[in-house]
Amino acid sequence: MFGFSRSVLCGVWVAVALALSACGSKPINHAPVEDRVPMPSGVDTAPLTPVKQPPGFENAGKAGYYTVKPRDTLIGIGLEAGQGPKDLARWNNLENPNRIEIGQVLRIAPPVATAVVADSGGVVTKPVVTGAATATAIAPGSVAKPASSPASTTAMSAPAAGATTAAASASASDDDMGWIWPGSGPVLAGFDDAKNKGLDIGGATGDAVLASADGKVVYAGAGLRGYGNLIILKHNNTFLTAYAHNQSLMVKEDQTVKKGQKIAEMGSSDSDRVKLHFEVRRQGKPVDPSKYLPAR
């Protein structure tokens, strides 16, 4: 029709068919496609660095622990907790007691030792608080005791009853210290839980400051702001006393003192006048010293 012979047209169609066949048998390689989402300007794409947690952070909020706040010192924490700063340093393995950091969590209660009691039925582990007589209940089912063994039951219950009596006696004796006045001058300011955590006692520079009861010096120095030259005595597991603003200190840390012993001379260090600031701390809480001191 268009001037091409039938043979020519057949040849063209054969050539086209061969070309299409060749293209279909050869695989086509496509370049890999990556999904790239553009990041907003100003966004840091560097890998995240793990946040460093302060020492002891895993104990935050637990009973017997304290989280360090700005301006805290180990001396002040110990006074509030009713403990000596050296004890706190030892319980927390502090190489330098003067270096504690904000957010650090410190143990402020004595560590718990473990006492193991064995009998024919098995082994019981009971927590025992160091330095205090406490009664500890035995967990039900922790020991498989024969029902027909009254002797064993009595043997196990007797120490618990004894421990309860001992704890009650220790508490009563801790309160009965036979306190005396640490200074002979007049009371300049009484106890106020919000404004004055003790008594301010007047006097002259160099007047004797006396230990109000038998005890041990757990701090002697000027490391607590607002207290000047300070002495802290630990009398037992219940009471501490603090003697502030002294001119000079007559005792050293870890020294045992007797009631009525001269431990310092009155002064005006970190104060606007000569006076003795005297505190009584019951389990760390400031209490009114006049309720423990004899009437004048």
pLDDT, one tens digit per residue, over 89-125 is 999 999 898 899 999 999 999 998 654 454 555 555 4
Q: Tell me: pLDDT of 36 over 80.
A: no
- For 47-72, the pLDDT digits (tens) are 667 778 989 999 999 999 999 999 99
What pLDDT does 112 receive? 80
What pLDDT does 34 receive? 55
Three-class SS of 109-178: CCCEEEEEEEECCEEEEEEEECCCCCCCCCCCCCCCCCCCCHHHHHHHHHHHHHHHHHHHHHHHHHHCCC
- For residue 56, what are the CA distances in angstroms to 89, 107, 109, 252? 13, 9, 14, 31
Q: Tell me: pLDDT of 143 over 50.
A: no
Q: Tell me: pLDDT of 199 over 80.
A: yes
More confident residue, 196 or 141: 196
The predicted model scores a pTM of 0.67
- For 233-250, the pLDDT digits (tens) are 999 999 999 999 999 999
More confident residue, 105 or 1: 105
Domains contained in the chain, CATH given: 55-137 (3.10.350.10), 187-291 (2.70.70.10)
How sure is the predictor about 42, in pLDDT bands with cuts at 50, 70 and 90? low
| Cβ-proximal residues to 144 (8 Å cutoff; 6+ apart), any chain | 121, 122
d(CA 177, CA 238): 11
| Mean pLDDT estimate for the chain | 78
d(CA 21, CA 34): 32
- For residue 254, what are the CA distances in angstroms to 82, 87, 120, 233, 251? 16, 11, 44, 9, 9
Strand locations in the chain, DSSP E? 65-67, 105-107, 112-119, 122-129, 187-189, 199-201, 208-210, 215-221, 229-234, 239-249, 256-257, 262-266, 276-282, 285-287
